[in-house]
Amino acid sequence: MKTNHRISVVLTLLLCTMLACLMLPLTVKASGGDFTAELKAGYDNKTEIGKYAPFTITIENNGSDFSGRLQLIVGNKVDYNIMYETDFSIARGEKKSAVFACKVVDNLGKANIRIVDKKDRVIWSEEKRYSVDNSALQKIDIGILSDDFAALGYMDGLSFSGNGTVFKSNLTEMKADTFPEDVNALDMLEVIVITNFSTDILTDEQTEALNLWVTRGGLLIVGTGSNSSKTLSKLNGYFF
C-alpha cells in the first residue's frame, strides 16, 4: 500500500509539472532576426482616414546579411488587414529604407513590420503605432518643394472659408530624396508648391507621380521669377 501510495504521489507531481510547463508561454527565437525598425507614416508624422499616405520603414541590420521580403501589415478595426510587401536585401550593419503607399481606413493606428525569408518564414516582426489626424477635414495640406522652405512660412496657418467651413493651411516640407514615386502617396495633399528648387534632381518616376497627381485634380503652384530656369528645368514637357 505504501509503495502504491508513493507511486501515486510521484505520478501526481509529474503530471502537475507537465501541466505547469504546458501553461508557460511558448517563446521561439527566430534565427537571423537581429533587426531594428523605424516607421514614419504620412506627412508631419500624421495620416488621414480615407487617404493614402507614404509609410517609410527604415531597417537596420545588426545580424548577418539578409535577402527576402519586407512586409507591412496595416491593421483595421474590421476583420481584415491590408498587407504590402517588397523584395528586400540588406547587408550586415546596413541601414535601408522602403516606402509603401498605404490607405488608412480608420483611426486604429497600428501596423506590423515583418521580415520574411525566401522560404516564407517570418524571421522578425514588430508592431508600430502611427498617428491619425482627426482634424483633416478642416485643413488644406500644402506640400512645399523649395531650397528655402522658411521663406514660405507666411503661408502656414492661413484661414479660408468655404461651404460654411473654415479651413486652415498646413505646410509640409518635402525633399527630393523622399518625394514619392507612387502617385497614391501624394493623396493627402491638396496643393503642391514648387519654387526656388532644382526640379532636374527629381527622378522620372517622381515627376510622373506629380504629373498623375495633377491629372487627378491636385493643384500645382510653380514659382518662377529669378529662379525660373532651375524651377522649370524638369517640368517643361510635363506641365508646360
pLDDT at 30 over 60: no
Lookup: cell for 74: 496595416
Q: Decide which of 20 and 132 is more confident.
A: 132
pLDDT at 89: 97
Number of residues written out for the chain: 240
71-119, pLDDT tens digit by residue? 999 988 877 789 999 999 999 999 999 999 999 999 999 999 999 999 9
183-239, pLDDT tens digit by residue? 999 999 999 999 999 999 999 999 999 999 999 999 999 998 888 888 988 888 777
- Average pLDDT across the chain, whole number: 85
pLDDT at 162 over 80: no
Distance CA 127, CA 111 (A): 6
Band (25; pLDDT cuts 50, 70, 90): very low
C-alpha distances in angstroms, 63 versus 27, 110, 135? 20, 26, 42
Q: Mean pLDDT throughout 37-57?
A: 95
Mapping DSSP onto H, E and C, the string for 146-191 reads CCCHHHHHHHCCCEEEECCEEEEEEEEECCCCCCCCCHHHHCCCCE
Q: Mean pLDDT throughout 130-153?
A: 90
**Percent above pLDDT 90 for the chain:** 70
pLDDT at 33: 62
pLDDT at 218: 96
pLDDT at 138: 83
C-alpha distances in angstroms, 117 versus 55, 63, 195? 22, 14, 44
Question: Is 54 in contact with 42 (CB distance < 8 Å)?
Answer: yes
